[in-house]
Amino acid sequence: MTEKRGAEKRSGARRPGIINDLRNLSFKNGDEDKVLDARFISAYKGKLAVKKAGTGGRSFSLGVLFISPELKAGNRYSIDTVKHEYGHTVQLKRLGLAVYLKAVARPSMKSKETGREYYSLPWEVTADMLGGVEREHAEGSEERGEAYLADWLPRRRAKKASEMKNRPGC
Ligand SMILES: [Zn+2]
């Protein structure tokens, strides 16, 4: 009994998940399986990744990767989802939060499509591309996605310019 407990202690099997997560936490991590194996939190390519239940099995990103706990390490779709969510954080960085919410988050929440059609939508296909997901997309959707993002980019610049102009004392 004592010996067994000692062995468990050494292996970390009885340690609460969050403690293990914090021990393993590395912002340099680029292994999708480590994100999927974490109990609550991990990191991926410099971004925090959080296991989030109650998202209807969907994963989403707002600079932090929210990953559905239903996704499993070693599973192709799960690994692609981590990469895809990271791709959304790249979109966010490029567009800025205000534009990202309009151009990506809002249409993404509304779209009901699944599978190939869903991942061929302009705001989704570009997350795949920026995250390095190799997935089959509808014909021409990658070009349409790039054009879509390019179309939103000037709105970020315009918004920043007006913020600068309105800043008091500038
Ligand atoms: Zn997405």
Q: Quick one: CA dihedral 80, 111, 122, 104, positive or negative?
A: negative
What's the CA angle centered on 9, arms 5 and 10, to 5 degrees?
120
- The pTM of the full predicted model, rounded to 2 decimals, is 0.81
Catalogue the E-assigned strands of 10-158. 41-44, 47-51, 60-61, 65-67
Tell me the CA distances in angstroms from 68 to 15, 35, 36, 126, one per residue in order: 22, 11, 9, 21
User: Mean pLDDT for each consecutive 10-residue tract of the chain (170 residues)?
Assistant: 45 72 95 96 96 70 88 96 95 93 90 82 96 96 97 80 68
Q: How far is the CA of 127 from the centre of ligand 1 (A)?
A: 6
Token pair of 101 as six digits: 């919410």
Q: How far is the CA of 18 from the centre of ligand 1 (A)?
A: 27
Q: Which residues pair with 61 in a beta bridge?
A: 65
Q: How far is the CA of 149 from the centre of ligand 1 (A)?
A: 14
Those residues whose beta carbon sits under 5 angstroms from the ion ligand 1 are 124, 127
What residue ranges do the domains of the chain occupy?
2-164
Q: How far is the CA of 150 from the centre of ligand 1 (A)?
A: 18
